[in-house]
């Protein structure tokens, strides 16, 4: 009998967002593979769960992947979690899932919180589909080309960005068209959750001088229905 890898989504801020199924899965597995053992330990402590951990990220992929596959081969069920949100969605884990599938083991998703979906659901965009690009290339040329290609498909575009590159990315979006409407989501599901809406240049101006903590998620679209109250902020 072989083990199973569970890809478990965890809260992106509010711990109350974890699902019943995720809790039961974390209780049942033999091992939890995670990016940062300290952060995951805090979550499991909150849930009243005690489990052994194995660090998994891109830096230790080969060693950790081999160990996880050995444990699956021995019959252990393993949960893969990320620091926040859904593993493998702009987070480590994709290569691990590929390795596990290649070896013939079952991979089961335990769906839950995801910042791209959270922002999209509150944006008012995306009724006609969306394209998720994850984190953009650091160089302006490739980033601009990627954004233009995605926007050319006529869908809402969703990206994730570091707090240090938000203004640069909003500048790129604004150059692509003054009619483009943007929603920036920050501190998602936390006490200071905020959605900033408007044209890209306007949103960038409103963020000028502010200290932004943590990653943000940006959705932009040619649609205008969601932007009728573009000056409003939801806190």
Lowest mean pLDDT among 60-64, 105-109, 164-168, 216-220: 164-168
H or E element: which one contains 20?
helix 20-28
Q: What are phi and psi of 7, to 5 degrees?
A: -95, 105
Among residues 55, 50, 41, 53, the alpha carbon closest in space to that of 10 is found at 41
pLDDT tens string 114-172: 999 999 999 999 788 999 999 999 999 999 999 999 999 999 999 999 999 999 999 99
Spatial CB neighbours of 142, under 8 Å, sequence gap ≥ 6: none
Pairing of strands 181-186, 194-199: antiparallel
pLDDT at 224: 54
Cβ–Cβ under 8 Å, residues 96 and 71 = no
Burial 68-96 (b: 16+ CB within 10 A, else e): bbebbeeebbbbbbbbbbbbbbbbbbeeb
Residue extents of the structural domains in the chain: 4-110, 115-234
Q: Is the pLDDT of residue 230 over 90?
A: no
**Number of Cβ within a 10 Å radius of residue 107:** 15
Fold type of domain 115-234: 3.30.950
Quick one: CATH architecture of 4-110? Answer: 3-Layer(aba) Sandwich (3.40)
pLDDT at 6: 98
pLDDT tens string 38-87: 999 999 999 999 999 999 999 999 999 999 999 999 999 999 999 999 99
pLDDT at 126: 75
Confidence of residue 235 (pLDDT cuts 50, 70, 90): very low
Q: Give me the mean pLDDT over the 204-218 stretch.
A: 88
pLDDT tens string 30-46: 999 999 999 999 999 99
Q: What is the pTM of this model?
A: 0.89
Angle, alpha carbons 163-13-81 (nearest 5°) = 95
pLDDT at 226: 45
Q: What is the mean pLDDT of the chain?
A: 91
């Amino acid at each position: 009998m072989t083990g199973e890898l569970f890809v478990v989504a965890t809260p992106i801020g509010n711990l109350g967002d974890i699902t019943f199924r995720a809790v039961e899965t974390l209780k049942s597995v033999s091992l939890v593979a995670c990016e940062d053992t300290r952060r995951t330990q805090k979550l499991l402590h909150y849930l009243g769960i005690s489990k052994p951990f194995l660090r998994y990220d891109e830096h230790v992929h080969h060693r950790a992947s081999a160990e996880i596959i050995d444990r699956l081969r021995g019959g252990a069920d393993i949960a893969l979690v990320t620091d926040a949100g859904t593993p493998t969605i702009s987070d480590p884990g994709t290569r691990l899932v590929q390795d596990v599938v290649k070896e013939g083991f079952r991979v089961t998703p335990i769906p839950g919180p995801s910042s791209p979906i959270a922002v999209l659901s509150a944006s008012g965009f995306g009724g006609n589909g969306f394209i998720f690009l994850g984190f953009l290339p650091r160089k302006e040329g490739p980033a601009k080309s990627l954004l233009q290609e995605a926007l050319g498909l006529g869908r809402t575009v969703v990206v994730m960005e570091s707090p240090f590159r938000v203004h640069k990315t909003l500048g790129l979006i604004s150059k692509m068209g003054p009619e483009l409407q943007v929603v920036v989501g920050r501190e998602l599901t936390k006490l200071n959750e905020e959605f900033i809406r408007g044209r890209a240049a306007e949103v960038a101006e409103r963020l000028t001088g502010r200290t932004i903590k943590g990653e943000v998620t940006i959705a932009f679209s040619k649609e205008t229905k969601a932007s009728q109250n573009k000056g409003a902020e939801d806190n």
